């Protein structure tokens, strides 16, 4: 993530999980927020009881990120969210996620590839014009998730889906907010100009 932001001409600044009272100061210091991958979100955050599925939780990070996302949202700040990030963004703004795709019976496509993340794993169809202009309408992406968006936040629209209907990208109608379920920072160039996602994000951050 750091290298991708650097290559796009941005100044990478890492925000630690810390006191929520520091969030506004952190947001004063940045022009855009990149939400990265990681573990699973606590089901209580989207009003569900835990299902009997294997999950890894980071409760402190969850609570901090919920507050961070909502504060950035209030500021209409540019946001690029990746993997765990798309799920957090969706949850923070009233959406929900599948706690486990296989448990939900959604295992027609393998979303947890065993291959190197440099390699593509499953196709997606991009319906959003901006994103498809950037990457192409039908591309192959990597995939390292066992959760995915269930109820889409009313704030966002679907921008890409996998052949099994799983949401792989979302966007806001007018704000500079994009989120993807795959990992553009890891994918090899032969699967598309993924660096462009970061280049466009940094451009959005430059607009004052
Ligand atoms: Mn996937």
Q: Residue 144 burial by CB count (10 A; 0-12/13-18/19+): exposed, middle or buried?
A: middle
Inter-residue contact 69 to 50 (CB < 8 Å):
no
Q: Cα(79) to centroid of ligand 1, in Å?
A: 20
Q: Cα(65) to centroid of ligand 1, in Å?
A: 22
User: The pTM is what?
Assistant: 0.97
Q: Cα(56) to centroid of ligand 1, in Å?
A: 18
- In the 8-state DSSP scheme, what is residue 9? T
pLDDT at 208: 63
Residues with CB under 5 A from ligand 1 (ion): 111, 143
Structure tokens that stand for 103 in this block: 């448990």
User: Other C-beta atoms within 10 Å of 31: how many?
Assistant: 16
Binned average pLDDT, 10 residues per bin, the chain of 208 residues: 96 98 98 98 98 96 98 98 98 98 96 96 96 94 97 98 98 97 93 92 91
Q: Which residues are part of the catalytic machinery?
A: 83, 183, 185
User: Which CA distances in Å does 138 have to 77, 130, 141, 160, 165?
Assistant: 29, 13, 10, 9, 14
pLDDT at 207: 84
pLDDT at 87: 98
Number of H helices, E strands in the chain: 6, 9
- Beta-bridged to residue 112, according to DSSP, are 144
pLDDT at 20: 98
H-state helical runs in 93-172: 129-135
């Amino acid at each position: 993530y750091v290298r991708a932001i650097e290559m796009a001409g941005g100044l990478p600044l890492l925000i630690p999980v810390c006191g929520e009272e520091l969030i506004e100061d952190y947001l004063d210091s940045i022009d855009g927020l990149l939400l990265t991958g990681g573990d699973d979100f606590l089901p209580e955050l989207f009003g569900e009881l835990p299902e009997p599925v294997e999950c890894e939780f980071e409760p402190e990070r969850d609570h901090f990120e919920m507050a961070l996302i909502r504060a950035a949202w209030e500021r209409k700040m540019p946001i690029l969210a990746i993997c765990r990030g798309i799920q957090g963004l969706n949850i923070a703004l009233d959406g929900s996620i599948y706690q486990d795709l296989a448990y939900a019976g959604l295992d027609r496509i393998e979303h947890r590839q065993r291959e190197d993340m440099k390699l593509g794993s499953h196709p997606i169809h991009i319906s959003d014009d901006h994103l498809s202009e950037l990457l192409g309408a039908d591309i192959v992406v990597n995939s390292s998730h066992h959760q995915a968006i269930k109820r889409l936040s009313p704030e966002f629209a679907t921008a890409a889906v996998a052949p099994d209907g799983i949401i792989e990208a979302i966007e806001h109608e007018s704000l500079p907010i994009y989120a993807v379920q795959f990992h553009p920072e890891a994918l090899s160039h032969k699967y598309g100009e993924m660096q462009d996602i970061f280049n466009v994000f940094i451009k959005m951050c430059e607009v004052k």
